[in-house]
Amino acid sequence: MAALVTDAGLDLAAFRAHLVDRLPGYAHPVFLRLCSELDVTATFKHTKSDFVRQGYDPAASADVIYFNDPDRRAFVRLDAALYERIQAGQIRCDRHRPPRKVGHMRSETIAIHSGYEVDPTTKAVAVPIYQTVAYAFDSGRSWSRPVQSRGRRLRYSRISNPTTAVWSGAWPPLEGGVDALCVSSGQAALNYAVLNVTGLGTNIVSVPQLYGTTYTLFAHLLPSQGITVRFAESDQPAAIEALIDDDTRAVFCESVGNPAATSATSRRSLAWPTDTACR
């Protein structure tokens, strides 16, 4: 969450163009809320209690809210009908660049070559391991326009790194996705995946056969953050669908369940975070 204070009317088109120019796709705001005033605490931190309670529901807020529409490439006024379509998953909140065109390559070729452009200096076909933390800039002014690597701006390796950028760039063409994020562990990836599609007061449905620490995340950690996880009695479609309601944001399964080697299916149109690791 970030606050922007302006002394005049906000030019939404220019503001969005500025975001596209200066920030990587994953950092673009999905919603923009225009407030006439801000409440701050004694330490000048913005009071978020109302924001958390209201979310981005236009019916619950007196402020004007805009949605960063990836199809129109513009901020559009968020009304009740548009909000309902977003909540129902009919409109995707993708904030990333479109996947690289890979033509008619087979999956094996995409896995090897997608996401990497041959080094123009050495002509090396293997991806180098960049162990750098920081990146050089020609001047102080150039710091505001960091060098781009495969569509990602490089300023600091904790934010982006050329090696991980190649790895994450290979996954969207394989999976039919928009973008991918490289993290340090499977549990971090699962936590990010769930938090990306849920919110306070929402839920996900999970199959019962789970890796041990995944169960800990679902049964104890996510509920402490206001996200309910409902465990189906079995991995059969009827058992899963019986737990789905209007607040369900995703159905989770392991592509090969641990330890029973099970799999799950459902006819419902929902996000399906899936653990594909063989543990």
Per-residue confidence in pLDDT tens, the chain, 279 aa: 555 666 667 788 888 888 877 776 667 788 888 877 766 666 555 556 666 667 778 888 778 888 888 778 888 898 888 888 877 767 766 544 444 455 566 777 777 767 777 777 778 878 888 888 888 777 766 666 655 544 456 778 877 788 888 888 778 877 777 778 888 888 898 999 899 889 899 999 998 888 889 999 999 999 999 999 999 998 888 999 999 999 999 999 887 666 666 665 555 545 556 555 544
- Integer Cα distance of 143 and 174 in angstroms: 34
Q: Are 269 and 221 in contact (CB under 8 A)?
A: no
Cα 120 to Cα 128: distance, rounded to the nearest angstrom: 13
| Contact (Cβ atoms closer than 8 angstroms) between residue 156 and residue 137 | no
Whole-number pLDDT of residue 107: 76
- Among candidates 168, 154, 166, 169, which has minimal Cα distance to 126? 166
β 248-254/203-206 pair status: parallel
CB 193 within 8 A of CB 181: no
3-state percent breakdown (helix, strand, coil) of the chain, nearest 5:
30, 15, 55
- Residue 265 has, within 13 A of its CA and on its CB side, a CA count of 1
Tokens of residue 267, six digits: 């006819």
- Residue 169 CB neighbour total at 10 angstroms: 23
Task: Give the count of alpha carbons within 13 A of 260, CB side only.
Answer: 10
Measure Cα distances from 270 to 106, 195, 273 in Å: 27, 15, 10
Q: 243, 270 in Cβ contact below 8 A?
A: no
Q: Which two tokens stand for residue 108?
A: 């094996």
Structural domains in the chain? 12-87 (no CATH), 107-175 (no CATH), 186-275 (3.40.640.10)
The SS3 call for residue 134 is strand
* pLDDT reported for residue 203: 94
Distances (CA, A) of 15 to 12, 32, 223: 5, 11, 37
245: left (phi over 0), alpha (psi -120 to 50) or beta: beta
pLDDT at 99: 47
